[in-house]
Structure 1
Amino acid sequence: MSGMDRKSQYKNRAKNVANIRQRHKAEELALRKDRKEKLLSSKRFRYVDGDELTDEISHDDVTKATKSLQKPGAHRLENLKTLRQAFSQGSAFIDTFFKVENALDTLVGIYTGKDSEQQLEAAWCITNISGGTAEHEMAICKHVAPYLITYLSSGVHQLQDQSAWALGNLAGDSAECREILQKQGVIPPLVQLLQSPHSSVVQSAAFALSNLAKESVEDCKEMVQASVIPNLLRHFSYSPENLDVLAEVSWVFTYLATSGLFLEEMSSNGVITKTVSLLVTLSDIMPHKAQVVTPLLRCLGNICSGPDQYTVEAKQNAELLPSLCKYMTSDLRHVRKETLWVLSNMTGDLGVCKEVAFGPILPHVLEQVPAAFDIKTEALYVLCNLACHGEDICTQLVNSGMLQCVTPALKSHDVEVLNLALTMCEMTLKMIPKAKEIFEKECEGITKLEALEYHNNDAIRTSANHILDMYYGEERNAADKKGKGKKTSK
């Protein structure tokens, strides 16, 4: 049979995989916004060393401290320290603060006043209020945000740091807050702060920029126009001292890459090359630094979900796939999962597929198929993308024990997993003659397909019946006839 005829056997199924893959990308990009919260909260209270370990302050203490603020004097400093510590212990204390008449106006007055020590403590209080509920944040956004933005250019790095952190909390709350901040001109001074010699200021500015960028293409566009990419690149390097800053910067790049609109700018500025270089460097540092590896893997995955030219650019570094192989063996399951997602996007490229299928990383992909649902799903996407690229790669998959790994997934209760597993099995049966016997005799595939013949999902039921009829119809008919010819004793 000619290569063209062979390809015609699986090309329709390959289109189906491409459709699944596109939907998967869209769903993943949406879900990752929620998943990020587990690793890196979009809103953060700020503690001083030991604050979170002290005895809990009472609501009466908060009320007394708030009322005492209304009277000028040196006592205000201790009142402010009590309040910012209380606010970091939960939003209920912030509610207590707001119950006192003119509480916020008094706090803003101190923040914009001339006593620098009290001003910094007031800024800290505002930062922690902005980490509270949506109602708390909106109050800060409407009444304090213009001052916060003004103080980004204050020249006092402690005040810049606190103000940027508070703005980051506001940006992490809602689209309404982000729109208010954007209209008030928050982006240019935040980008400018990336040039600060103080790492804490850079970290807070990048935190705010990442929360602005993650939901809004318009905000990303303004950032790019304000030269955020070259300013971020100043800090896009690894050292133990730079880990926190690098993590924040990596999140900004991750969200800039999400829409695909700024990939050309990222490429021309060397972001893609640098992202890969960092991942290569960090792959050898054990245990893996999830704080920074996670956003770097997501950034690369977003880049590779765009046109294949960017995947080709990424894999120009010969150490990329060996490094991804190291991440596939990480002790951290979410690092393995992120790595599979990167591979599922990279394997749209034939060159990558060949390196994965015939290289040392394939066994590690197969090892993830029996894992928990979310990792299993990512591994199946990688395998489907590999199989789509033809019989040579599919033969290698079969020879590597792919069917033995994938067929048990036909017992899954998840429709997406079943769909991927059925797709994988069907493409393999179409392309590889020996797969039929392996699937039947070594994997008990027919039994597993028969269990899906009456599945409550139409697509699963149809696909299972199609495979049974197409590849095992004769055997089943023969078995039925043989069964009917037997006489039973009475």
Structure 2
Amino acid sequence: MDFTNANCNNGEIFMFQSSSPPKLVQPTPPPPSVIHKAKYKRNSISKNPEEARQKRIELDAQVRRKHREQLITAKRIKHNLDAYKDDDAESEFDLTHHDIEKLKSGLNDSDRDSRLSSLKDLSTYLADPPDTLKHFVINDNCIDILIKFLSGADPEEQLQATWCITNIVAGPKEFCQKAFTAIPHLITFLRGGNISLQDQAAWAIGNLAAEGPECRDLLRSNGVLIPLIELLNSKNVSIVQTTCFALSNLARGPNANLDEFFSAGITQYLLFYLRTDEMDEVVSEISWVLTYMTSSEDDKYIQILLKEGIVPLLVKHLRPFNHGPLALPLIRTFGNIASGPDENTDILIQQPDFLPAMLEYIQSDCRPVKKESLRVMANITASRRPEVLIKVFNAGFIPILSSIATHTNFDIRKEAAYSLLNIASHGEEYMRPLPHQDLLPGFLEFIRSQDIDLIRLGLGYVELLLTQVQNGQQLLEQMQGIDALESVTSQEDPSLRDTSTRLMDKYFGEDFNSNINEIQSTE
């Protein structure tokens, strides 16, 4: 579905008739939450290479999760993106209490055209609701009125009411909670014969699922998963895209019950579309589903997908993709796969097009794509297999990673630096060929920064330089590296201070520590 220009189809309709609504099933309380780790493997700066290879640090896990939530949040409101303004901007619509009463009157009018016109107005206003409309949704009978339309027999009124629900659940949490009573109706529409209603119901469910664990649990308890997966069999491209949007949000979180996804046969549909579909938009939506299905702490789900041959199908879509945000979930899925055992990495790099495509993506002009691609390479270079690093060298990554690590913004540089340090930590034969004359000034900038992660990266590189490169000490002296190390002694983090002091004592004189103590006592 094109979430930027979605609209409803008009058709012949009938007068709505009230009927008994389906029963809303409440979910059973979930087990205690499990802390979900970010699927990101990279080496830390440790005392020896083997420890560095085995440790998977997640220093930016919270940042990645926040970034991921922002992406999903933006996605779920794309269908009305042109109606949204900045958070600090005033609402586009200024509805008085009189306007709201007029709207309510239209929704309850005996004339069908008046009701439809009012439903369409309501869906538009809900794109950016003023306070008066928020009160109507939260404290008045807005949802009750919409439920009557959903329970009726007029397909067009059902469609317009579902459109209203879709926009309501794209709003704040209070809106979503008020719309819970619509869930059974939405699920019923999924299995109906009205394509427009199926599409719009899946859209609303996707927005609900994006709201949080409570909504996802409620949807699953009411049996949403199987009818959604069955919709993947649709011949309608829009429905397939919208269904994937909903499924990707349902697959989020540590309590996603992914076993249900696999037992319902989701893999056969995903594999089918990856084999046959050439539309970037469809592949992107499929990849969002895979992103969350591969983000579980339990590696068994990735292994199931690997055995089904998912990697070649994903790789074939890398090169034709543009470097825009549509490629983001595809790249993130690769990152999740590479975060697992080294055998996973082997499967990736055995694909002839994988590393050449990643070399293009780490140079992308799209910042999120560039950053995620660098994280994939950090996972790849964390492999303990020498043949992996040889392929990375031969594919031409070292000059590009070195340039990124020294010439772009700090956050991007940091991602490239992890790959370089992962490579260097494999031993002297991999550390020596790196362009240290170019790299050292950049890593010294890291050390002089006030960012703990950057300082740690810089110290890690300097330690490897001093221990594994013959002229490392001379290079450090030539580039004022001693001053950079001294600057770390003012840091509050004791591990950083200790590392800096240890390196100074060992390589630049035994009196350094006493000199530092004298300086600190003077201060």
Aligned to 1:203: 241
- Out of 337, 345, 362, the residue aligned to residue 311 of structure 1 is 345
- Amino acid aligned to 1:17: A
CA drift at 1:94? 4.3
Aligned to 1:78: 117
Tell me if the contact between 2:191 and 2:227 (Cα under 8 Å) persists in the aligned partners: yes
Tell me if the contact between 2:311 and 2:348 (Cα under 8 Å) persists in the aligned partners: yes
Hey, what's the Cα distance between the residues in 2 that align with 1:377 and 1:154? Answer: 51
Hey, what's the Cα distance between the residues in 1 that align with 2:60 and 2:387? Answer: 24
CA drift at 1:275? 1.7
What are the Cα deviations for residues 145-190 of structure 1, in whole angstroms up to 9, with x where unaligned? 1111111101211101110110111111111111111111111111
- Equivalent residue of 1:23, what SS? coil
Say if 1:97 and 1:246 are closer, same or farther in 2 by CA, change over 3 A: farther
Hey, what's the Cα distance between the residues in 1 that align with 2:493 and 2:235? Answer: 59
Greater displacement, 368-377 / 118-127: 368-377
> What is the count of residue pairs matched by the alignment?
459
What are the Cα deviations for residues 436-483 of structure 1, in whole angstroms up to 9, with x where unaligned? 111221x21111111212322101100101111112226969x99xxx
Hey, what's the Cα distance between the residues in 1 that align with 2:342 and 2:79? Answer: 44
- Out of 275, 284, 303, the residue aligned to residue 247 of structure 1 is 284
Greater displacement, 84-93 / 298-307: 84-93
- Amino acid aligned to 2:192: S
Hey, what's the Cα distance between the residues in 2 that align with 1:90 and 1:383? Answer: 49
1:469 aligns with 2:508: no
Say if 1:72 and 1:216 are closer, same or farther in 2 by CA, change over 3 A: farther
Greater displacement, 351-360 / 121-130: 351-360
What are the Cα deviations for residues 365-416 of structure 1, in whole angstroms up to 9, with x where unaligned? 1122233232122122111211111111100114573323322211111111
- Out of 251, 267, 279, the residue aligned to residue 229 of structure 1 is 267
1:165 aligns with 2:203: yes
- Amino acid aligned to 1:280: R
1:297 aligns with 2:331: yes
- Out of 395, 413, 418, the residue aligned to residue 450 of structure 2 is 413
Aligned to 1:351: 387
What are the Cα deviations for residues 33-65 of structure 1, in whole angstroms up to 9, with x where unaligned? 321244442663475898779974624434321
Say if 1:51 and 1:456 are closer, same or farther in 2 by CA, change over 3 A: closer
1:12 aligns with 2:12: no
Hey, what's the Cα distance between the residues in 2 that align with 1:48 and 1:177? Answer: 21
Aligned to 1:487: none
Q: Whose RCO is larger (CA < 8 A, sep 6+)?
A: 2
Tell me if the contact between 1:237 and 1:278 (Cα under 8 Å) persists in the aligned partners: no
Hey, what's the Cα distance between the residues in 1 that align with 2:146 and 2:377? Answer: 51
Aligned to 2:169: 130
Hey, what's the Cα distance between the residues in 2 that align with 1:17 and 1:62? Answer: 63
Hey, what's the Cα distance between the residues in 1 that align with 2:506 and 2:435? Answer: 19
For residues 391-470 of structure 1, the aligned pairs below 5 Å read 391-398=428-435, 401-441=438-478, 443-470=479-506
Aligned to 1:194: 232
Hey, what's the Cα distance between the residues in 2 that align with 1:116 and 1:333? Answer: 44
- Equivalent residue of 1:343, what SS? helix
**TM-score, normalised by the number of residues in structure 1:** 0.87
CA drift at 1:222? 1.2
Hey, what's the Cα distance between the residues in 1 that align with 2:140 and 2:192? Answer: 30
- Amino acid aligned to 1:299: T
- Out of 58, 77, 95, the residue aligned to residue 58 of structure 1 is 95
Aligned to 1:331: 365
**Unpaired segments of 5 or more residues in structure 2?**
1-44, 86-90, 517-523
CA drift at 1:99? 6.0
- Amino acid aligned to 1:269: E
Hey, what's the Cα distance between the residues in 2 that align with 1:92 and 1:230? Answer: 46
What are the Cα deviations for residues 409-428 of structure 1, in whole angstroms up to 9, with x where unaligned? 11111111111111121122
Aligned to 1:377: 414
- Amino acid aligned to 1:175: P
Say if 1:55 and 1:422 are closer, same or farther in 2 by CA, change over 3 A: closer
Hey, what's the Cα distance between the residues in 2 that align with 1:48 and 1:375? Answer: 32
CA drift at 1:264? 1.1
- Amino acid aligned to 2:501: N
Aligned to 2:8: none
CA drift at 1:29? 5.1
Hey, what's the Cα distance between the residues in 1 that align with 2:80 and 2:74? Answer: 19
RMSD over aligned CA atoms reads 2.7
- Amino acid aligned to 2:126: F
More helix by share: 1
Percent identity reads 31
Tell me if the contact between 2:95 and 2:130 (Cα under 8 Å) persists in the aligned partners: no
Tell me if the contact between 1:250 and 1:295 (Cα under 8 Å) persists in the aligned partners: yes
Tell me if the contact between 2:138 and 2:178 (Cα under 8 Å) persists in the aligned partners: no
